[in-house]
Structure 1
Amino acid sequence: MTTDIRPVGDDDFFGWLPLFEGYCRFYGHDLDDAKALIVWNWIRDEQHPLDALVAVDDEGTPVGLAHFRPEPDTLTATTGLHLDDLWVAPDHRATGVGRALIESVHARAGQLGGGVSWITAEDNEQAQRLYDALARRTSWVTYEMDA
Structure 2
Amino acid sequence: MTVQVRPVVDRDFFDWLGLWEGYSAFYESEVTDTKALIVWSWLTDKAHELSGYVAEDDGKLVGFAHVREYPRTLEADRAIFLDDLFVAEEARSHGVGGALIEEAKRIARERNAGAVTWITAADNETAQRLYDNAGTRTSWVTYETEV
TM-score normalized with structure 2 length: 0.97
Aligned to 1:61: 60
1:59-84 residue CA offsets vs partner (Å, 9 max, x unmatched): x1110000110011112222111000
Alignment-mate amino acid for residue 72 of structure 2:
D
* Counterpart-to-counterpart distance in 2, 1:47 and 1:112: 16
Aligned to 1:13: 13
Alignment-mate amino acid for residue 107 of structure 1:
R
What is the aligned length?
Answer: 146
Regions of 4+ moved over 6 Å: none
**Which ranges in structure 2 are unaligned for 5 or more consecutive residues?**
none
Alpha-carbon RMSD across the aligned residues, in angstroms, is: 0.8
Partner SS state of residue 46, structure 1? coil
Partner SS state of residue 99, structure 2? helix
Aligned to 1:92: 91
* Counterpart-to-counterpart distance in 2, 1:64 and 1:19: 7
Alignment-mate amino acid for residue 45 of structure 2:
D
Q: Indicate whether 1:107 and 2:106 are aligned.
A: yes
* Counterpart-to-counterpart distance in 2, 1:68 and 1:21: 18
Aligned to 1:25: 25
Partner SS state of residue 29, structure 2? coil
Partner SS state of residue 28, structure 2? coil
* Counterpart-to-counterpart distance in 2, 1:112 and 1:54: 19
% identity of equivalent residues: 55
Q: Is the 8 A contact 1:73 1:80 kept in 2?
A: yes
Alignment-mate amino acid for residue 107 of structure 2:
R
**Which ranges in structure 1 are unaligned for 5 or more consecutive residues?**
none
* Counterpart-to-counterpart distance in 1, 2:137 and 2:20: 25
Answer with 111-120 or 93-102: which moved more.
Answer: 111-120
* Counterpart-to-counterpart distance in 1, 2:98 and 2:140: 23
